[in-house]
Amino acid sequence: MAKLVYALNQSLDGYVDHTAFGPSLELFRHFIEFEGSLTGTVYGRRMYEVMRYWDTDQPNWEGHEHEFAAVWRAKPKWVASRSLKSAGPNATLLTEDVKAVAGRLKAELTGEIAVAGPDLAQSLTEAGLVDEYRLYIHPVVIGRGKPFFAGPRPRLRLLASDRITEDVVRLTYAPA
C-alpha cells in the first residue's frame, strides 16, 4: 500500500507563494532525491501548470536543473482538473472523482505518492487520505499568497523535525 505525502515549501507565516523564495542548491538537491524516490505525484491543476516548466529544457539551466527535470519527467503524474482538456507527457488527466482515484492509487501502488497543491491536499485531507504532511519552513514572512492548509487545519502529531539546509527546517506530521 502506498502512502500519500503532502510536502511543500512555505514561508514562516504559512504561505506557499513560490515567487517569494527559491530553493538553495542544497535544498534543490534534496528535492531531486525526494522526487526520485516517489512512486508518482497527484497534482492539482494550478500546481501542475507551475511544474510544467520542467517539461522543456531551458538554455540557461545549470546541471542540477537538468537533473531535476529528468527525474520529474520520468515519474508518473495524475492531474486533477475540471478545466484541462489534456495533460502532458507521462501524465494522466483525472476527470472522475479524484478522492476515489487517490484511494485506488494508495491501494494498488507501493512507496510514496506526493500530493501537490493546497486545494487538492485539502480535499484529500478531508477524505482522510493524506498520510503525512511535510512542511519545509523558509525564514521568510510574505503575508500573502496561498496558505499551505487551504481549509480547516487537521489535527496533527509531530513525527520529526529535520534541518534540511542552513535556513530550512522540515516538520513532518501525521494525522492525529
| Mean local confidence (pLDDT), 128-141 | 96
Q: Check residue 152 and give its pLDDT.
A: 92
Report d(CA 134, CA 153) in Å as an integer: 14
pLDDT digits (tens, 9 = 90+) for 61-105: 999 999 999 999 999 999 999 999 999 999 999 988 999 999 999
Q: Check residue 18 and give its pLDDT.
A: 77
| Mean local confidence (pLDDT), 124-137 | 97
Q: Check residue 159 and give its pLDDT.
A: 98
- Which pLDDT band holds residue 142 (cuts at 50, 70, 90)? very high
| Mean local confidence (pLDDT), 146-171 | 96
Cell 529544457 sits on residue: 57
**Hey, which CATH number is domain 3-175, 3.90.950.10, 1.10.490.20, 3.40.430.10, 3.30.450.20?**
3.40.430.10
Report d(CA 29, CA 27) in Å as an integer: 5
Q: Check residue 96 and give its pLDDT.
A: 82
Q: Check residue 21 and give its pLDDT.
A: 80
Q: Check residue 6 and give its pLDDT.
A: 98
